[in-house]
Each structure stands twice: as C-alpha cells, then as structure tokens.
Homo-oligomer: A and B are copies of this chain.
C-alpha cells in the first residue's frame, strides 16, 4: 500500500542517476560492478519493482501473449488444451512473459478481439489453438503483420512451409503408428480403428499412422482395412456406437485404436470381449479408466511455441529473417501403455 518506489527513488538511494538504475535492470553488462552492487542493494532495500505499464509504454512492448480460451466442447479432449495452457503460462513466466486470456464466439468475433488486443498494445503476439483449413484468423494476422504461433499445423493447401506461419504440432501419424506397432508386438493382428470423418486434417493424419503401420507389417490387405475402420464424429456415445459397428463389420478384433479418449471411453462401454482399446490425448479419464493412450507432450509444445514466438518479436525486427532456422516444430507424442482395464463392462444394447 505504501506508494511503490520508482526508479528515481532507487537512484537517489544509491547515489546514481535514473538511467543507471534502468541499466542495472536491463543491460547489467554495461554498468561497472561496484555501481551495480550498490544499485542492487538499493533495489532490494526499497523493495523496488518496475512499473509494468510504464515500461510497456516506453518500450512499446507488452511482454504479454494473448490466447483464446476455447469454450471446451467436450471436456474430455478439452483437457489437453488446459494442460497446454498451464504449461504455456508456466514457461512464459520464466521468460518474463504474461499470458492474457480472451474469449470469442466465432472466428470473426475472434478477429475482432485480436485486433482490439493488438491495437491497444495489450499483447505482443498470439497463440492460436484449434486451427482448421482455411482459417481466417491466421490469414488476418499475417496480413496485419502481427506475431503469432499456432498450436496445430496449417491444414490448408500445402502451406505447411509458409515462412509467415509459425506453428507447432504433434505428429499424430507417429502417435498412431507407434500405437499400432505396440499392439502388433503383443501379437495383435486385426487392429481396428475408430476415427474422425475426412475433412479433419488431424483425423486424417492419425488415421494414416494406423493404416501405414498395418500395411507395413503386411498382415492385412487394403480391403481388410476397410472393414477394420469406422468413422464418426467425436463423443462418448459416438464411440460406443462405432464400437458396435466395428464389431459387426470386422468380426474378430485383437485391438482397437481410437482418435480420441472420448471415443475410446465410448468404445470401452461396448466391449464385452475386453479387446484392448487405446485412446488419444492421455486425458485424466484415460488414466482413471486404465486406458492406454497417446500422450501429446504439452510441455514440449509450449516450449516450441514460446521459442518461435519470442524469436519472432524478441528477435531483431529488421534484417534478414534468418531463413535457415525452421519455422515450425513437430513434436513426437509418446504412447502411454496401461494395464488393461480394471474395468470390465458388459453390454446389453
């Protein structure tokens, strides 16, 4: 409550000028050692903290990144974004960055919010989640020259290497490839897959991981694969229905892989033969139910996002864009294998 001391107070106490105090905080290297110590002592004694807004006004940098808090459709898979948000906040903090939230009701509304935060100099850049093909947000941000990184690769017409679009993503192909391999190693041959309908880039990516691993091993033909696959939108009830359909179409099943934990949980419900089910996202539900699942390392994703983002606005704005360093990061997920199902369920439907 006592009025916070300012640089001037510190300067007075240390017998130096304002600027020297500022230098001690921002470029300690150029201050002589003994002077620096004296200033640091004064800072500690007075309990000085730089006034964030004053600094931002002068430096024209907010040291804040904006991120939209998604409405959390599902609540199961949604938890990945929560974990990501947590990891991001934590790591941003270590870099002296703050995380500012906002919400929006539609992509158009979101653009309005992006503009508001950017124009008000509230943020230096944005982190976008849940990207989709033809995403108007990224387009707008690029047009306006605003820094951003997406969690999720650009799914449009091969703009994966657009140098203006920085992104971090998890290699869903590798995740399902690995999960399929792991199942094969336990002796499974007929491995089913419950995935998402085609327009979803993420879904297609995961699906190919399964397909490729299946074909590589050569136990099944292209034709067999069709019967081993069911496509449905995400959800627990949908997973149950898909599992029932899969059991009809596939006959014998040695294992089932799902594009999400929601689907996997649903599949478990219609699983009287106790076929091993593997989910995706390693949500708390998977842990609680004892489901194997593919874990997206949100920490790695967060680290990548921050690296790219700070490189963008922290880096020297002018000059060559150091074109040799990669403009994206692909994180390899990790299969978490769990003892199968402490939860036998049998079905009536």
Contacts and interface: CB of A to CB of B under 8 A. Distances in A.
Give the copy number. 2
Interface in A41-75: 47, 49-54, 56-57, 62, 64, 69, 71-72, 74-75
Contact of A102 (B72, B79, B93, B349): B93
A269 B120 CA distance: 52
A131 interface: no
A107 interface: no
B98 A85 contact: no
A237 B83 CA distance: 22
A250 interface: no
A228 B102 CA distance: 46
Interface in A226-253: 235-237, 240
A162 B143 CA distance: 53
A102 B86 contact: no
Contacts of A288: 75-76, 235-237, 262, 265-266
Assign chain A's interface to a size class.
Answer: 35 or more
Contact of A101 (B71, B99, B121, B266): B99
B53 A269 contact: no
Interface in A68-98: 69, 71-72, 74-76, 78-79, 82-83, 85-86, 89-90, 93, 98
Contacts of A33: none
A347 interface: yes
B343 A345 contact: yes
A85 B56 contact: no
Given A93-B102, A100-B98, A342-B237, A52 B86 contact: no
Nearest to A91: B103
A122 interface: yes
Contacts of A99: 100-101
Nearest to A120: B52
A163 interface: no
A284 B343 CA distance: 20
Contacts of A139: none
Contacts of A235: 288
A287 B53 CA distance: 44
Contacts of A320: none
A30 interface: no
Contact of A69 (B52, B85, B283, B346): B85
Minimum-distance CB pairs A-B, first 3: A75-B284, A236-B288, A49-B119
Interface of A: 1, 4, 47, 49-54, 56-57, 62, 64, 69, 71-72, 74-76, 78-79, 82-83, 85-86, 89-90, 93, 98-103, 116, 119-122, 144-145, 235-237, 240, 262, 265-266, 269, 283-285, 287-289, 342-349
Given A235-B288, A344-B345, 8 more contacts: A51-B57, A51-B120, A52-B120, A54-B57, A69-B86, A99-B101, A100-B101, A269-B342
28 contacts: A4-B119, A52-B53, A52-B120, A52-B121, A52-B122, A53-B56, A69-B86, A72-B79, A72-B82, A74-B284, A75-B284, A76-B285, A76-B288, A86-B103, A89-B103, A93-B103, A98-B100, A98-B122, A235-B288, A236-B289, A237-B288, A262-B288, A265-B288, A269-B342, A285-B285, A344-B345, A344-B348, A345-B345
